[in-house]
Each structure stands twice: as structure tokens, then as C-alpha cells.
Chains A and B, each alone.
Chain A
Amino acid sequence: MSAILQEISEKLQKGKMKEVADLTKKALDEGIAPLTILNEGLMPGMDVIGERFKNNDIFIPEVLIAARAMAAGTDVLRPLLVGEQMEQKGTVVIGTIKDDLHDIGKNLVRMMMESKGLNVIDLGNSVAPAKYIEAAKKHKADIIACSALLTTTMVHIKDVVAAVAADPELAGKVKVMIGGAPVNDAFRESIGADIYTPDASTAAEKAVEVCAAMHA
């Protein structure tokens, strides 16, 4: 890896937004391909952040600040990436469950998934089961990801599981992934969802794995 890509990764990890943007421009001036900058500079930096977050080595603010720096880099690249062959690893439809407006965790998962090259459709907060279904069909999603922060709202996730099972177009084709503070694997089993992960990085890793298996 060239020195400048290494530097982009390091500055991104430190959350240095302006430096990441400047270095990305500099890398382009040096003739490095936009996709290379993304795959070998920005994404590895975010991978390190994800790994350290999973290990409790760093906390939410650093992830958010690093993600902001990553966005500064991808903003520079975006106009140039159009038309370039992006590797499509899979599509995830994500949102916080009906009546739940706590979206920091969901946003972290989205950022981690995006930085792993997944195409993420963010439906926002308090998403009704029907909206997940509609979006999953429209975007031909591999995964529906639901997040809940309250014990009063997590019960709504089972409606999503039921809606997927009842839809011939989606049943067996779309996996339902769940997460959030009060959710655990026993709850996943009780409502018949497919995947539970305890943190944002593991969610992204697992999602990539599941999509790869489904596309295989």
C-alpha cells in the first residue's frame, strides 16, 4: 500500500476530517484510482475503527467522528466513482422499529456496513413492518435489519418476521437481522428472526458473510 493511502487510513482513524479530504484530493492528483483510494485507504481505516469498537478499545464518539472523516473522503470521490465498477456485496434495508426513535446504534450499524461495501437503504426511525417489506422488495434486499432500544418497542420486531414469512416474494430469501440494547439471542430465537449480533462491527461482518453465502 502506498504511503499516502496509509496516511489516509491513519487520519481517518483519528477523525481528522479536513486532513482526510485534503489527502484524498492529493492522492487523486498523484494519479491513484478513486476506487483504490476507497478500498485501500478509507475502508481499511474504518475497519480498524470497527475492530477497536468491537473490542471496547474505543467508544461511540470516536466511531462517529471517524465516520464523519470517512464521509469527507467519500464526498471527494463520489463524483468520480460514478461509472466505475463498484463491487456489490449485498443490500441491506435498515431502520429502527416502530415507535422507537433511538437511532444512534442503527446509524453506527449503517456506517459500519457501508464501510464494508454493502449497499444500505436507511429507512430512518419508527419504521412500520410494511415499510421494511416494501423497501426490501423495491431494492431486492438480502437483509432486513431492525433495531430497538426499548423493551416496549422490541416486541414489534416479530411483526416484521411474520410479514416476511407471509410474503411469498420474500420468504426464505430475505434474512431478518436484529440488534439493540434490550435484544439478545434468546429474544431472536423466541420471535424466529435469523440473525442477532451484539455490536455494530459484528453486525457488519455478519451481514457481509450472509450476503456472500446468499449470492454464492
Chain B
Amino acid sequence: MEARITVHHQQGTRQFVCTAGEPIAHLLRDEGLLPLPCGLGKCGKCLIYADTEPADEERTLLGERRLAAGLRLACHTRARDGLEVTVPHAGTLKVLTQFTSMEYVWDPLVRRVPLAVDDASLEDQRSDVQRLQDAAQAGGHELSLEDLTALPAQLRSGEPLHALLRGDRLHGVRPQGTPHALIVDIGTTTVAALLVDLDGRRIVAAHGERNAQSPYGADVISRIHRAMEWESAGRQGSNPLQAAICRQIDGMLRRLLEESGVQDVDMLCLTGNTTMLHLLCGLPGEHISKAPFIPVTLEPMCLPARLLHIASAGRCFLMPGISSYIGADIVASLLAADAHHPQEPFLLVDLGTNAETVLYVDGKLLACSAAAGPCFEGATLSCGMAGQDGAIDAVEADDAQGLRFSTIGGAPAQGICGSGVLDALALLLDAGCVDETGHLEADDSPLGRRIRDDALLLTDAVRFSQRDIREVQLAKAAVRAGMEILLREAGLRYDDIRRLYLAGGFGSAMRPRSAARIGLIPAELEQRVHVLGNAAGFGALRYVTEKDAQTAASELIRRTRYIELSAHSGFSESYVEQMTFPAA
């Protein structure tokens, strides 16, 4: 039987006809309206508002307070005629525009030269392209048919022109103006874009969004599986994952250009993990997802933006990667850390769903990727959330109340994000309310009295539970075991490491003291933490603006040895070893 349902969403209200009695989760996902972190009805994150009789699973996963507020789970909400549901606002994401300021030799990959093209005459019948090349002193061109079609009118318009050159190759012709570039870091969870003024050497505008592929799953494996489903179903229409990300980048570019009153960019530099770049290009990711983890390509690429359905006459430079699980975003982070110039030994960690870790010693690099899971992004914690307004992001001891906290944007507390989790757990360990094995126990102290029903109550609604602590243990054990293996392989001790670079949003937000207290980072390195901020973005910018950076990136990759942790004999043992917390 058919059921008509109404869905209220930020983007407006829409009606759908679906099968009565079927859960509405997959419909909402396929329409791009709601991310389904698990899609199996188990994670309790596919929150919607609906006036329905809660299922048993909803009672367990949501609790009375949230049920009373009208929250339900899409995976457990079955379609019936006249059903109305509301998808909560996703909230906006902040893009880190902060970099470690580092001087480097500025030499953009694509540069502009003013054009003075000779007029054609009966005595000078050189072709338009030839006159253009001669005027720009170019050794050849890479103009598309589209560019060539526009060329005769452009040359005869009398408008002052710039040639775009990459080396001595002609890449395009533009009306004279300030050169801009778009830098995009495609993360599994978020996509961050920066519009850069290449003459002023400054960021003009920045914008971040949740990755538009999120409705297809929270992690890279489920995204790959979704793309494979599309392939095995006969490749009908366009690849939904590729279409989602291309449309998103196109939208972000338009928005940034409009905001800044800029016509177009001269080039785009795209970075991201290996899976994200594969999905962007529509390349099959199947063999990334299973052993022995083989990507189609890790080479840098240069594609016309229009080929990716991005409305720009510029070209997209896709950065090279190291392996299936150490992608171009990490290569970018290494450039941001100046790893292509001689350094003292350092460790670089990008803490996300995968904790990519690189050890640098004497110009040689060892890299590994540890499956930390999405716990620090909030996905697997009972009251976890991303670092957006209303997230508890810092927790401190308080003699009277046991603890006090702050939230992002000063908004009422809705949940807890990664940095808040580390603080809360460090506080519990300091107070002895959590022991080395991770066991949570109430006592008579002001903090201990806030522990009820196996959970620390931050507010009446925001809890940090025993189960959450176990999730953190799994995540931090994976991260630390990865570091241990790299150090062991290099024959070093933590004390030999001069710097611990933290890349990414979570790395920038967390307090090193809390991270060291719970053992996420080694105690020896607490004082040596250097926050890189938006390392992938800054590194991608360097990739296209620093002299010889492309060669340097290839050289870095050549000098990197990737260690597959799941095949490493010492990993399992180290993982269990790191499961406990450091003694006080």
C-alpha cells in the first residue's frame, strides 16, 4: 500500500509517496536529506522529529527526555499515510583558516602574463592560437575545444587580456584581473574550501560544509560499498557519490566567488583522502576497501574543472597520495609541516576516523593509518556530536560542583565533542573516578556524586557513560599502537621526537594536557605539541603556490615507507597494551 509522507527540511518542505510500513530512513538518505551513520537502526544518530509511537529500539537508544521532545530515529520510523517528519537543522561548520605561518618561496603553478597580441592582417596570417602563443611566449598550449571556440571573439574584443601559463604551456586566456585559486580539502566528514588571492597572497573567503556524500554512510568503506552497489546495478544514470561531491564543490565555488565578487579562479587544488579522490573522479574504490588495499592511482592529476562538472574555466590539480589509507591530504599536511625541508625528528598525526600518523627522521618517513573510528567526531558516543554550536568543548574541575564546562558559541549544551570528551575523561581519571582499566565508579566527592546509572552527568541530558569510555579506549588504543609501531620500526624513543604536529580540527581543539592524561598522546610529547590548524588546506595551497612544491611532494612520497598495521605482527599486542589508561 502506498503512503504519502511530508518531510520538512531546511531546504523546504517536500512530499513523497512510498510503501506503507517501510522505514523512511533510506528514502531520506537517497534524497540527500539525512545522513545515516549506520543505516541499520543501531547507532541512534538518524534523528528526526515525528509524532509516532516509539519503537523499543528508540526507547533504548534515545531515552525518555529525547522521546518526550519528539525525537525519533529514521531507521525505526515506518511510513504511513499522512506522516509528517521534520529533519533537524544540520548547523554550519567552521573552517579553520588559521595556519602556522611559514615563509616560503612564492611561485604559483599557474601564472598570469599580460597579453599584447598582434592584430591579424593579410601579411600576417598566423592562426589565433599561434599569435596567442607567440605573444605569451608559450611553447605550446593545452586549450580545450571550449577555450578554442571562445578564442576568436576574445582576441578581437579589444578587452585587455591575461594569458594563463603553467611553465611554458598556455593554459587559458582571461580578462585582465587579480588571479585567484580555490583550495578544497575533501574530508570524509567535512569539505572545506578556501578562496585565495594569489597576488595579495591571502585568503579571501572560506566555507565548510558536511560532505554531501554523508547520507551514503559515515565512513569510507560504506561510501565505497554504495558506489559498488550503483556499479553492480548496471551504472544507471550518474554515479550518485561522484555527483554529490562534484555538485557540492561547484556550489561552494559559486558561493565563494559571489561573496567575494570574483569572476572565476585560475586553478583549483583538490586534496583529500584516497577514497574521496577516487569517488570524486568516479574511479572504482572496491580494491581500496579490502586487502591488499590497492587504489587505482595515487599519481597527481590535472583535469579541466568542467570534466568534474565544476563551473570554472580553470584546471583542477589533484594532489598525489602515498597509499590507500595515507592520502593526498596527509601529503598536504606534510608540506604544511615543512617536511620537504630538513627538520628535526617529528611525528605528525591527523586525528579523524582514521588516525594517519607519520614519523619523520633524517629526511625519511614512516607512515601508518590506525582505525580510530568516529568516536572523537562524536558518532559513536551516547551524547557525542561534531564540534558545532552547543557542543561541550571544554570541561574543568570545580571544587563545589565537581566540574564546569563551556560550549561552542556559548549555546545551551546539546552534546559533547572530541575535546570535551578528552577533558571529561582526564578529569575523571585525575579524581580517581575512572581507574586504569577504564572502570567508572561514583564516590562521595562533588564529581563522584554526578556519576549516576553508569554515566557522568554533565547536564541532565548530556551524559558521558561507561560505554562511551570504552569507545574512547578502543580509539586511543588504535592511535597509540600506531605511534608505537612507527617508533619501534625506526628504533626511536618518544624522547627523541622534537615535535608532535597535530593536524585537523580535533587536533587543534584538544588540550594536550588532557590528551596526555588519557594516553592519546605520549606524556613525553605533551610539551612538544604544535598545532598545524588547517594543515591539509595550507599544504594544498603550498602545493600550487610554492616553488617546486610538486617535485618536493613526489620526493616526499618516494621517501615514505607505508606500514600496513593490520598485517604488522606487533600491532595486536600493542593495541591491547594501549587499551588501559596511564597511572596517575
Using a CB–CB distance below 8 Å, which chain A residues touch chain B?
14-16, 58-62, 64-65, 67-68, 98-103, 107, 125-126, 150-153
Interfacial chain B residues near A100, Cβ < 8 Å? 290-291
Contact check, B286 vs A62: say whether CB atoms are below 8 A apart: no
Interfacial chain B residues near A103, Cβ < 8 Å? 566, 572
Of B237-245, B467-475, B499-507, the stretch lying at the interface with chain A is B467-475
Using a CB–CB distance below 8 Å, which chain B residues touch chain A?
221, 225, 228, 286, 289-292, 437-439, 467, 470-471, 473-474, 477, 564, 566-567, 572, 576-577, 579-580
Smallest Cβ-Cβ distance to B371: which chain A residue: A102
User: How far does the Cβ of A68 sit from chain B's closest Cβ, in whole Å?
Assistant: 6
What is the predominant secondary structure among interface residues of chain B facing chain A? helix
Contact check, B437 vs A59: say whether CB atoms are below 8 A apart: no
What are 22 sample pairs from A and B whose C-beta atoms fall under 8 A apart? A14-B439, A59-B467, A59-B470, A59-B471, A60-B470, A61-B470, A61-B477, A62-B437, A64-B576, A65-B437, A65-B576, A67-B576, A98-B291, A101-B567, A103-B572, A150-B289, A151-B225, A152-B225, A152-B286, A152-B289, A152-B290, A153-B291
Additional A-B contacts beyond A15-B580, A68-B576 (15; CB < 8 A): A14-B437, A14-B439, A16-B437, A60-B470, A65-B576, A65-B579, A99-B290, A99-B292, A101-B564, A101-B567, A103-B566, A125-B567, A151-B225, A152-B228, A152-B290
Interfacial chain A residues near B437, Cβ < 8 Å? 14-16, 62, 65
Interfacial chain B residues near A59, Cβ < 8 Å? 467, 470-471
Interfacial chain A residues near B290, Cβ < 8 Å? 99-100, 150, 152-153
Interfacial chain B residues near A58, Cβ < 8 Å? 470
Interfacial chain A residues near B292, Cβ < 8 Å? 99
Query: How far apart are the CA atoms of A84 and B252 in the complex, in Å?
Result: 71
Query: How far apart are the CA atoms of A165 and B459 in the complex, in Å?
Result: 59
Interfacial chain A residues near B467, Cβ < 8 Å? 59
Contact check, A107 vs B289: say whether CB atoms are below 8 A apart: no
Query: How far apart are the CA atoms of A67 and B289 in the complex, in Å?
Result: 30
Which one of A16, A60, A98, A152 has the highest number of Cβ atoms from chain B below 10 Å of its Cβ? A152
Contact check, A61 vs B579: say whether CB atoms are below 8 A apart: yes
Query: How far apart are the CA atoms of A101 and B286 in the complex, in Å?
Result: 15
User: How far does the Cβ of B227 sit from chain A's closest Cβ, in whole Å?
Assistant: 12
User: How far does the Cβ of A111 sit from chain B's closest Cβ, in whole Å?
Assistant: 10
Query: How far apart are the CA atoms of A98 and B438 in the complex, in Å?
Result: 34
Contact check, B291 vs A101: say whether CB atoms are below 8 A apart: yes
Given contacts A16-B437, A61-B470, A152-B286, contact A126 B291 (CB under 8 A): yes
Query: How far apart are the CA atoms of A160 and B477 in the complex, in Å?
Result: 33
Smallest Cβ-Cβ distance to B573: which chain A residue: A68
User: How far does the Cβ of B570 sit from chain A's closest Cβ, in whole Å?
Assistant: 13
Smallest Cβ-Cβ distance to B571: which chain A residue: A103
Interfacial chain B residues near A98, Cβ < 8 Å? 291
Inter-chain CB contacts under 8 Å: number: 60
Query: How far apart are the CA atoms of A59 and B467 in the complex, in Å?
Result: 7
Smallest Cβ-Cβ distance to A15: which chain B residue: B437
Our pick among B286, B474, B577 for the contact of A61 (Cβ within 8 Å) is B474
Query: How far apart are the CA atoms of A98 and B290 in the complex, in Å?
Result: 9
Query: How far apart are the CA atoms of A64 and B474 in the complex, in Å?
Result: 10
Our pick among B286, B566, B579 for the contact of A64 (Cβ within 8 Å) is B579
What is the predominant secondary structure among interface residues of chain A facing chain B? loop
User: How far does the Cβ of B15 sit from chain A's closest Cβ, in whole Å?
Assistant: 33
Given contacts A62-B470, A65-B437, A125-B566, contact A150 B579 (CB under 8 A): no
Contact check, B572 vs A107: say whether CB atoms are below 8 A apart: yes
User: How far does the Cβ of A55 sit from chain B's closest Cβ, in whole Å?
Assistant: 13
Query: How far apart are the CA atoms of A100 and B422 in the complex, in Å?
Result: 32
User: How far does the Cβ of B480 sit from chain A's closest Cβ, in whole Å?
Assistant: 13
User: How far does the Cβ of B437 sit from chain A's closest Cβ, in whole Å?
Assistant: 4
Interfacial chain A residues near B576, Cβ < 8 Å? 64-65, 67-68
Query: How far apart are the CA atoms of A65 and B225 in the complex, in Å?
Result: 33
Interfacial chain B residues near A61, Cβ < 8 Å? 438, 470, 473-474, 477, 579
Query: How far apart are the CA atoms of A143 and B474 in the complex, in Å?
Result: 30
User: How far does the Cβ of B486 sit from chain A's closest Cβ, in whole Å?
Assistant: 18
Query: How far apart are the CA atoms of A78 and B88 in the complex, in Å?
Result: 58
Interfacial chain B residues near A153, Cβ < 8 Å? 290-291
Given contacts A64-B576, A150-B221, A152-B286, contact A102 B470 (CB under 8 A): no
Query: How far apart are the CA atoms of A191 and B553 in the complex, in Å?
Result: 48
Query: How far apart are the CA atoms of A2 and B292 in the complex, in Å?
Result: 51
CB-CB nearest 9 A-B residue pairs: A101-B566, A59-B470, A15-B437, A61-B473, A99-B290, A99-B291, A61-B470, A152-B290, A64-B576
Interfacial chain B residues near A125, Cβ < 8 Å? 291, 566-567
User: How far does the Cβ of B57 sit from chain A's closest Cβ, in whole Å?
Assistant: 13
Smallest Cβ-Cβ distance to B293: which chain A residue: A101
Query: How far apart are the CA atoms of A58 and B576 in the complex, in Å?
Result: 16
Query: How far apart are the CA atoms of A123 and B471 in the complex, in Å?
Result: 28
Smallest Cβ-Cβ distance to A150: which chain B residue: B290
Which one of B228, B437, B467, B566 has the highest number of Cβ atoms from chain A below 10 Å of its Cβ? B437
Smallest Cβ-Cβ distance to A14: which chain B residue: B437
Which one of A58, A61, A99, A126 has the highest number of Cβ atoms from chain B below 10 Å of its Cβ? A61
User: How far does the Cβ of A61 sit from chain B's closest Cβ, in whole Å?
Assistant: 4
User: How far does the Cβ of B296 sit from chain A's closest Cβ, in whole Å?
Assistant: 16
Which one of A60, A64, A103, A153 has the highest number of Cβ atoms from chain B below 10 Å of its Cβ? A64
Smallest Cβ-Cβ distance to B438: which chain A residue: A61
Query: How far apart are the CA atoms of A160 and B395 in the complex, in Å?
Result: 52
Which one of B291, B438, B467 has the highest number of Cβ atoms from chain A below 10 Å of its Cβ? B291
Given contacts A15-B580, A65-B437, A152-B290, contact A60 B474 (CB under 8 A): yes
Which one of B290, B292, B572 has the highest number of Cβ atoms from chain A below 10 Å of its Cβ? B290
Which one of A15, A16, A102 has the highest number of Cβ atoms from chain B below 10 Å of its Cβ? A15
Query: How far apart are the CA atoms of A110 and B580 in the complex, in Å?
Result: 21
Query: How far apart are the CA atoms of A150 and B579 in the complex, in Å?
Result: 24
Interfacial chain B residues near A107, Cβ < 8 Å? 572
User: How far does the Cβ of A75 sit from chain B's closest Cβ, in whole Å?
Assistant: 13
Query: How far apart are the CA atoms of A73 and B276 in the complex, in Å?
Result: 46
Smallest Cβ-Cβ distance to B472: which chain A residue: A61
Query: How far apart are the CA atoms of A60 and B470 in the complex, in Å?
Result: 8
Smallest Cβ-Cβ distance to B473: which chain A residue: A61
User: How far does the Cβ of A157 sit from chain B's closest Cβ, in whole Å?
Assistant: 14
Interfacial chain A residues near B439, Cβ < 8 Å? 14
Smallest Cβ-Cβ distance to B289: which chain A residue: A152
Our pick among B225, B228, B438 for the contact of A62 (Cβ within 8 Å) is B438
Query: How far apart are the CA atoms of A125 and B569 in the complex, in Å?
Result: 11
Query: How far apart are the CA atoms of A60 and B289 in the complex, in Å?
Result: 24
Query: How far apart are the CA atoms of A164 and B228 in the complex, in Å?
Result: 30
Interfacial chain A residues near B225, Cβ < 8 Å? 151-152
User: How far does the Cβ of B307 sit from chain A's closest Cβ, in whole Å?
Assistant: 29
Query: How far apart are the CA atoms of A39 and B579 in the complex, in Å?
Result: 27
Interfacial chain A residues near B580, Cβ < 8 Å? 15, 65
Interfacial chain A residues near B228, Cβ < 8 Å? 152
Interfacial chain A residues near B477, Cβ < 8 Å? 61
Smallest Cβ-Cβ distance to B470: which chain A residue: A59
Contact check, A102 vs B438: say whether CB atoms are below 8 A apart: no
Query: How far apart are the CA atoms of A208 and B438 in the complex, in Å?
Result: 31
Interfacial chain A residues near B289, Cβ < 8 Å? 150, 152
Query: How far apart are the CA atoms of A107 and B438 in the complex, in Å?
Result: 20
Query: How far apart are the CA atoms of A150 and B473 in the complex, in Å?
Result: 23
User: How far does the Cβ of B29 sit from chain A's closest Cβ, in whole Å?
Assistant: 17
